[in-house]
Amino acid sequence: MPLANKKSITYFSLLFLLVGFRMLGQHTNEITAALKDETKEVEIKQKFTYVNTSKDGLTALYFNDWNHAFSNKKTALAKRFGEEFKRSLHLAKDKERGYTHLVSIVGENYAGLSWNRMGNSDVIRVQLEEVLAPGASVQLFFTYTIKLPNAKFTAYGFGPNGEYHLKDWYLTPAVYDDGWKLYDNMDLDDNYTDPANTSINFTYPDKLFLSTNFIDIGKSNFPGGQFIQLQGDNRKNCEIILERTSRFTKHVTGMITVTTDLESNRYDKISQGISINKIAVFLNENLGKYPHPNLLVSEISYNKSPLYGINQLPSFIRPYEEQFQFEMKFLKTAIHSFLNETIYLDPRAERWVLDAIGNYLMIKYVEEHYPDQKLAGKLSKIWGFRGFHLAQMDFNEQYALLSMLSARKNIDQALDTPNDSLIKFNQKIANGYKAGLGMSYLAEYLGGQKVDSSITSFYRGHMLNPSVKALDFQKEIEQHAEKDVDWFFKEYVSTRKKIDYKIKKVEKYEDSLTFVIKNKRGTKVPISLFGLNKDSVVSQYWFKDIDTSRTFTIPRNGEDRLVLNYDKKIPEFNQRDNWKTLNGFFASNKRLKFQFFKDTEDPYYHQIFYVPIANFNVYDGITPGLRIYNKTFLERPFQYDISPTYSFLEKTVVGKASFRYRKYHGKSGLFVSNYVFAGSTSHFQVNSRYTTLTPAVSFGWRPDNLISNRRQSLLLRYRSVFRNIDESIADQLDTEPDYGVLNLRFIDVDNDILNYTSWFLDAQHSSDFTKLAFELEYRKLFESNRQFNFRLYAGKFLRNNTDSDFFSFALDRPTDYMFDLNYLGRSENSGIYSQQIIIAEGGFKSKLENPFANDWIVTTNASTNIWRWIEAYGDLGYIRNKGENARFVYDSGVRLNLVTDYFELYFPVYSNRGWEIAERDYGERIRFVVTISPKTLIGLFTRKWF
């Protein structure tokens, strides 16, 4: 017999023995389930044979019950939603919730077993009758009913049209690996469970079409319902999608059978099939053969992890060709399903490995099949947009752009950070992109074939292995690499250290170039250097082991520029200082680039952006102007923002300007310092201008847990105010026109949607006064869905040499002598603009007589909802003026809390003034809160991501 044939027989014999051993040690799971359409419940009887594959004896077993995560408002899922400012689960009705009603757990001898739920978690503990020895097995019989949740929470459960999506719906064994790995459902799609050979007899309502990742081994109909037998060997979970119309199609390729409902209206079915086959070939070549009979690629799965960025634009303005758009959508979803169904890593603790492989394959696919694809697609050719640096970026440059977005904000996290400890932006986008980019970096350094071979070898050697670890992936890379790659795992994966290099001191010789490369961050990773002649690469080198700086010499090959990281394969923190020209000093200066609207960062230009703006107040009217600034999509340390506008009412220039330097420190504790100089000028009355100049420094703190919404800050500023008063009202001014105030304020905010707490302590010192103020605000959303709001304000003058109330504490409408509040008409005493209220100082809503205090003030403001966003409010307080007794003040009324802090209406009812609601001028007593700042409004929607 030929030697090659002998080797093949030996290989397949070993493979058979390994698979056979694995199957002998496999859990088995037999389920009978019936879905009740009228109650949205699934009645389940489950026989589970648990095999102890560990080296330890087990006295109890643990099972994941992730459907129970929707049962109440204190589960880990509910808390996670609160951290992300999602109130849906907290406000849900009982009929929308999901839960598990466990009737009994019986052992092999049909005796009931003791069990309990682990606190309020999604894990059930089952006490065994006797110790389960290593290699032994035990049978458990579960009888339970699950009430499915509304799919609006996580996309799993029952939908609005009588459709269902079942995932993580039945009990599955938790993983024992030198201890139990017990994870709660946090809507992260990372259920960690042992694989099992599972058979399911499933009964479901008539007129529904079923699609699944399991195989169908038998199906029948009966009056009013349907029955199907499903089988999945060595699978972690059965996913079932039930729809009113048959949207899924099956594509049988030479490598894999795909069931999918992904489609494109403008990309025909035949072409879709060709693209799916193309992707199947790509996955087979770069990973290996898919070991299961069917791969489910669903629209629901894509929507859970879509292509972010420009791809999120509405379909009618998406800038990509239909083929490319369909293939990228299908590829991302298919890779995710492919890897999660075959590589059984701990998805919560070691998710980065699958992220690295998946996003690397995405990058590679575009490089191979769409090398000229631009990130902006067809928009990159449109006049007016093609001049943007964003329009010139390649599609794959988005990985560096979006991963760097969190790094520049100092909220990036190490790749090996557990999945449940990542902030949403990192969990959904940045960390996955950084992981894929890291593999591309490694491929460029080692050679692409080395990394490709590592991935293929890892997949084929560890697919369906329930004990695979991230360390196995590291060993595969180290085995194929011919260079040291410790830096990749110790620096790139396990830390959040930034990569940042710079070229210094280039010396030119006839046959060589000598230069210094400075490591600005001390992160010891390799850096690439390119020699360019015009725009052509004439040389390329890799340098490593640079602690602080090192001198290198290379042959001279006609270079006119030296550029670090020219191909942008390395996720470098700052690329603005990556190049040096060899054509003299003046040639090294970057050119200015004036550009309409904000753009991505172009390291080869000094970018200055401009955009038309318009502001408004009563005295200046609508003030159009031009905003000039240097802020790109990525944060940068030094920023300026100059906004001159023209007041048509006053026929003069107004506006504001600021210059800021921001320094980030560690990820927690003192994490940021800001140094600011700002100025503004506008009108506070007809022909009366104010101007402010403010130097300031501030410091910010945050906790180790970046998911926490708690922040602390300390602000020190000196505000100088200059006022030019119209002669006709000059005699009405009861203070000096110019003044300065030194202000120190400490703020502590925990911005939680269920329990909001904030407080500040403020000290102000001027030549005429010194005062202290304290404010506490608390909001509580109770389990009954009733919200309670409470605010306490207290202020005291330590000295007050003024003769007016301009600097006094105010009950309802502070004079705002610091010009911090965005009044539309700050000097108005009547009319609609005088009814604007900004909750500050006393926080009262009624306009009471003598509303100022030049000695001290203590007030409380409270409200609670009557029905949905309709609330009752009440304010109480004492104020005291010098030489007078303290006065008790109060008011009450109805608040329409449409968007808290952004749009609210207050209707006074009863106060010190009596029944205000009965007064003829009641319409003038209604108060409103309105926020028109785009930046503030955008923050309302972006806060959940960062």
Kindly tell me the sign of the dihedral angle through the C-alpha atoms of 816, 820, 826, 832: negative
* Residue range 859-899, pLDDT digits in tens: 999 999 998 889 999 999 999 999 999 999 999 999 998 88
Lookup: tokens for 424: 């949403």
User: Which residue, 556, 557, 569, 626, is CA-closest to 597?
Assistant: 626
pLDDT of amino acid 576: 85
Provide the pLDDT for residue 281: 96
pLDDT at 629 over 70: yes
* Residues 843 and 877 sit within 8 Å (Cβ to Cβ): no
pLDDT at 124 over 80: yes
**How much is the average pLDDT of 56-81?**
95
Q: What is the pLDDT of residue 793?
A: 98
C-alpha 796: how far from chain center: 42
Amino acid, single-letter form, for residue 511: D
Stretch among 164-173, 260-269, 291-300 having the lowest mean pLDDT: 260-269
The answer for residues whose C-beta is within 8 angstroms of residue 918's C-beta and 6 or more apart is none
Q: Give the DSSP letter string of 15-31.
A: HHHHHHHHHHT-EEEEE
CB atoms within 10 A of CB 117: 15
What's the confidence (pLDDT) of residue 7? 36
Q: What's the confidence (pLDDT) of residue 3?
A: 38
| pLDDT, tens only, 737-750 | 899 999 999 999 99
Those residues whose C-beta lies under 8 Å from the C-beta of residue 122, and which sit 6 or more positions away, are 64, 65, 66, 67, 68, 69, 75, 76, 77, 184, 185
- Look at 548-557, 577-586, 791-800 and tell me which has the smallest mean pLDDT: 577-586
Instruction: Using the predicted structure, report yes or no on whether residue 543 has a pLDDT greater than 90.
Output: yes
pLDDT of 24 over the 70 cut: no
pLDDT band at 694 (very low <50, low <70, confident <90, very high): very high
pLDDT in tens, 351-363: 999 999 999 999 9
- Report d(CA 921, CA 95) in Å as an integer: 47
Instruction: Indicate the helix (H) or strand (E) that contains 401.
Output: helix 398-408
Query: Using one digit for the tens of pLDDT, what is the confidence trace for 373-426?
Result: 999 888 888 888 888 888 899 999 999 999 999 999 999 999 999 999 999 999
Q: Which residues contact 315 (CB under 8 A, 6 or more apart)?
A: none
Torsion angles phi and psi, residue 608, rounded to 5:
-125, 120
The residue among 369, 357, 340 whose CA lies nearest residue 287 is: 357
pLDDT at 942: 67
Q: How confident is the model at residue 797 (pLDDT cuts 50, 70, 90)?
A: very high
CA distance linking residue 140 with residue 196, whole number of Å: 14
The tokens for 749 are 């905010």
Q: With bands split at pLDDT 50, 70 and 90, how would you rate the model's confidence at 467?
A: very high
Selected residue with higher pLDDT from 264 and 469: 469
What integer pLDDT is reported at residue 77 of this predicted model?
A: 95
Task: Give the confidence band of 939 by pLDDT, cuts at 50, 70, 90.
Answer: low
Distances (CA, A) of 243 to 37, 227, 249, 296: 13, 15, 13, 15
pLDDT in tens, 258-277: 999 998 888 999 999 999 99
User: Average pLDDT of 780-786?
Assistant: 82
Torsion of CA 581, 583, 584, 590, to 10 degrees: -50
CA–CA distance, 190 with 195 (Å, rounded to integer): 14
Residue-by-residue DSSP string for 591-652: EEEEEES-----TTEEEEEEEEEEEEETTTEEEEEEEEE---SS--SEEEEEEEEEETTTTE
Instruction: Name the pLDDT band for 474 (thresholds 50, 70, 90).
Output: very high
Check pLDDT > 60 for residue 19: no
More confidently predicted of 866 and 783 = 866
Domains of the chain listed by start with CATH number? 27-246 (2.60.40.1730), 501-589 (2.60.40.10)
